[in-house]
Amino acid sequence: MTWNLWWRFGPWEQRQRAILDVLRDIRPDVIGLQEVWAQGDDNLAAQLADELGMHWTWAASDAPWRFHKRLGDATVDVGNAVLSRWPIAERASLRLPVDDGTDDGRTALYALLDAPGHQVPFFTTHLNSAPGESAVRCRQAAAVAHFVAERAADAGTDHPPIVTGDFNAEPDSDELRLFRGQGLIDAWSFADPQAPSVTWDANDYPSLAFEHGWRIDYIHVGPPGPDGLGTIRSAHRAGAAPVNGVCPSDHAAVVAELGP
């Protein structure tokens, strides 16, 4: 599963309860999260992991100033996180390049999961968001692809890498064509063609300013391993509807089922 949790924007305390309700209902084995908040010893990923009985790791932005300005509070960190039903054997993070683009301290986070039978190389990331920064996102996508290839090779497992995240780019963009060109498969290819695919502008939050929505959140998986290990079986959205009258996030989540 991948989900951008919209940091501490909007009615965040009510949204946090709604996020937890969605996760309890779906019970994914592993989740890549973006825009996770932390303040002092409090961390949203840790709270969710504790409630769900999962392991967790996270990588904070080292340049959260633009987020702070929007919220008016410089004490709240922002970053990416991984929650896993299985222990996390190792983790690493990569600071993404920005060139002359906006520097929000974007990262890619890697977690090697001790799943039954095979370790799983799992990644989550969040690329720059400014509409005019496609060239920056292309460099970031290339850096993530290299990071994935390097870490997956080092892991020495037959399970293909799983890459989740908010790419802030549509499926036919240069960013996504470059990324898929590294041999990674978009799990949405296995979704019901009639199912809603929009992941941003899926609810009542600030995306109302736009005329249509975008599919910008993804799960990508490498080619299947022996005997179909890690084969994509299906994909669908989650968390797009209000829970007890509150939309959990300004993004819908994406859920994929892998098997042999």
Q: What's the start-to-end Cα distance of the chain, in Å?
A: 18
* pLDDT score of 150 more than 90: yes
* pLDDT score of 203 more than 70: no
The backbone torsions φ and ψ at residue 239, rounded to the nearest 5 degrees and listed phi first, read: 70, 20
Query: pTM of the prediction?
Result: 0.96
The pLDDT score that the predictor gives to residue 217 is: 98
What does each C-alpha distance from 77 to 2, 115, 179, 211, 252 come to in angstroms?
A: 20, 30, 28, 31, 22
The pLDDT score that the predictor gives to residue 204 is: 55
User: 3-class DSSP state for residue 216?
Assistant: coil
What is the pLDDT confidence band of residue 260, given thresholds at 50, 70 and 90? confident
Q: What is the mean pLDDT of the chain?
A: 94
pLDDT single digits (tens) 49-88:
999 999 999 999 999 999 999 899 999 999 999 999 999 9
Contacts of 59 (CB under 8 A, 6+ apart): 79, 80, 81, 93, 107, 109
pLDDT single digits (tens) 16-55:
999 999 999 999 999 999 999 999 999 999 999 999 999 9
User: 3-class DSSP state for residue 24?
Assistant: helix
* pLDDT score of 146 more than 50: yes
The pLDDT score that the predictor gives to residue 131 is: 92
The pLDDT score that the predictor gives to residue 153 is: 97
pLDDT single digits (tens) 89-130:
999 999 999 999 999 999 999 999 999 999 999 999 999 999
Mean pLDDT (whole number) for 183-189: 97
Q: Which domains does the chain have, with CATH numbers?
A: 2-259 (3.60.10.10)
The pLDDT score that the predictor gives to residue 90 is: 98
The pLDDT score that the predictor gives to residue 207 is: 45
Mean pLDDT (whole number) for 157-169: 98
Give the CA-trace dihedral at 54, 227, 108, 139, to 10 degrees: -160
The pLDDT score that the predictor gives to residue 22 is: 98
What is the pLDDT confidence band of residue 201, given thresholds at 50, 70 and 90? confident
Mean pLDDT (whole number) for 128-154: 97
